[in-house]
Amino acid sequence: MSEPDKFEDDLLYALTRTGEGFRTEQAEQAGLVADGYRLGRRRWRRRSAAAVVGGAAALALVGTGTVYLVSPGAGDAGTVSAASAPASSVGITAGSSAGAATPTVLQSAARAAVSGDEVLATFRALLPKGEITEATGQGTDGGPKATQALANLVFDDGQGKSLIQFSISKHRPGQVQLPSCPPDPTLVRVDACTDTVLPDGSKLLLQQGYEYSDSRADTKEWFAVLNGPDGRSVAVHEWNAPKEKGAPDSRPNPPLTLDQLKAVVTDKSWDRIVKALRFDGIDTEAIDPGLSPADYETVLTGLLPSGATVTGRTGQDTGVAFELARAGRAGTVSVLVKNWAKAPDDRPAPQWYQDAEILPDGTKLLTHAPAAPTLSGKLIADATRPDGLEVLVVTASNGDPLLTAAELRTIVTSPAWKAGK
C-alpha cells in the first residue's frame, strides 16, 4: 500500500468512527479488565509515538466527533495529550519528519545534553556486582527534541541471565496517567504490588508479576516506577530470562529485589538527566487560543459558502466538530485552532512545512484532497500564520465533499480567526 493510500485509509477510519458505546456480558468483563490493565502497563512502559507512515499522523475521532491529532517524535518516544498535538502534524507532507514539540519551560542553550553512554553508566553504577552484556543506552544528545532516556542490558550475578530495562521521561502536570496496582491481582497474575506516596510527594509503584497474564509461560517480570512532583517518570523492569519474550527462563526470579528496584528509581543521580529532558507533551494551556465553542461557530458560520449551514456542534475549546448541511447533503467540519505565540518552542519543526505554499503574508498553507471522490469525501487544510496562530479544518461527508478545496482554503486563511487571549 502506498503512503498516500495508507493516509487515506487511516483518515477514513478515524473520521468514520462513531464512538458509540457497547455492552459486554458480565462473564467477559474480567477478561477485559485484565487485558486493559496489561495493555495499559505496556503503554507506559514502552512510551512510543503513534505509528506514522510517510509523515501522516494518526487521528482519532471520539464520541463527540472532534478530531484529535498525534504527532511523531524525532525517532524518540513521546506522547501527546488528546487535542494537544501540533495541528500541522496531520502529515500532509509525505516523507517529512519532525520532533514532537518542545516546551517553553526548559528551553535554554545552557541545558546540558546527556549521552547514551552516560545514561548507561549511571544505570550500571546502581546495579549490584555482576556481568553485564548487550548493554545499550540512549541519551538526550540526539537533538533538541529528546523526550526520553533509555538503557537496556543483560545482567548476570552468577545465578543466571536477566534482561533489565530502564527508562526515564518527564511529564507536565495533568498530562500523565499514573500507574497503579490492579484492582484484582489474580486476573493479571500479580504476586505482589504496592503503590505509595513518598515524603517528597513522589508516587512509587513496586510490582512482582509475570510477562504473560494468560499463563502461556511463567516468565516473571518485576518492576518499579517512580513519578515525581517535577514530572519525572523513572522505571526499571527486569525479567528472569535474557529476553522479554521468546527465551527460556534462566533463573527462578529476577535478580533485583523490590528494595533494590526502589533504590534505582529514587536515586538522585538521575536529576541531571531529568533536567536534560524536555517534557513529552505540549503545553496545552499556552497554546489554547482562548476561543469558546460558540466563538468557533460564530467565525465558521461567517466563512461558510452560500447554502451551507451549521446544524449541530460538539467538542471543546481546543477543537470543535460541526455538523453541516448543504444542498440536501450532510457532513462534518472539524476545526482546531492553536496559538503558538505563547509557546514558540512548541511549534512544529520546519520540516512539516517543506512542501507548504507560502502566502504573501507569510502564512504557511498545507492542503490535502483525495485524487478522486471517496466515501468520506474528506478534505484537509492547515494554515499557520507568522504570528503563530494555526487553523486546521478537516471535512467529511458520505459522498462528494461538502466543501470544495477552495472553500476550505478560504476558511483556514481568513483573518477572522483571532486568538481570544
Higher pLDDT, 413 or 100: 413
Q: Report strand pairing: 379-384 vs 319-326.
A: unpaired
Candidate from 107-116, 247-256, 280-289 with smallest mean pLDDT: 107-116
pTM of model > 0.95: no
Which of the residue ranges 120-134, 186-200, 274-288, 330-344 has the most confident prediction, judged by mean pLDDT?
A: 120-134
Q: What is the pLDDT of residues 242-281, one digit of tens each?
A: 999 989 999 999 999 999 999 999 999 999 999 999 887 7
Whether residue 209 is predicted with pLDDT greater than 80 in this model: the reply is yes
pLDDT, greater one: 43 or 128: 128
Would you call 379 helix, strand, or coil by DSSP? Answer: strand
* Highest-confidence segment of 5-19, 199-213, 339-353: 199-213
Measured between alpha carbons, how far apart are the two ends of the chain, in Å?
Answer: 44
Residue type, 138: Q
How far is the CA of 342 from the CAs of 70, 105, 172, in angstroms? Answer: 20, 11, 16
Q: What is the pLDDT of residue 421?
A: 60
Whether the per-residue pLDDT at 319 is higher than 90: the answer is no
Question: In 198-277, where do the E strands start and end?
Answer: 203-210, 220-227, 232-239
Q: For the chain, what is the mean pLDDT?
A: 74
Q: Cell 517518570 maps to which residue? A: 233
Range 384-413 average pLDDT: 86
| pLDDT, position 159 | 96
324-383 pLDDT, tens digit each: 999 888 888 999 999 888 877 677 777 778 889 999 999 999 988 766 554 455 788 999
The pLDDT, as a whole number, for residue 47 is 38
Looking at residue 84, its pLDDT comes to 30
pLDDT band at 405 (very low <50, low <70, confident <90, very high): confident
Q: Is the pLDDT of residue 241 over 50?
A: yes
Q: Give me the mean pLDDT over the 46-66 stretch.
A: 28
Distances (CA, A) of 26 to 33, 104, 249, 357: 11, 47, 35, 55
- Does residue 271 sit in helix, strand or coil? helix
pLDDT (tens digit per residue) in 88-109:
223 332 222 222 333 333 333 3
* Interatomic CA distance for residues 407 and 92, integer angstroms: 18
pLDDT of residue 251: 97
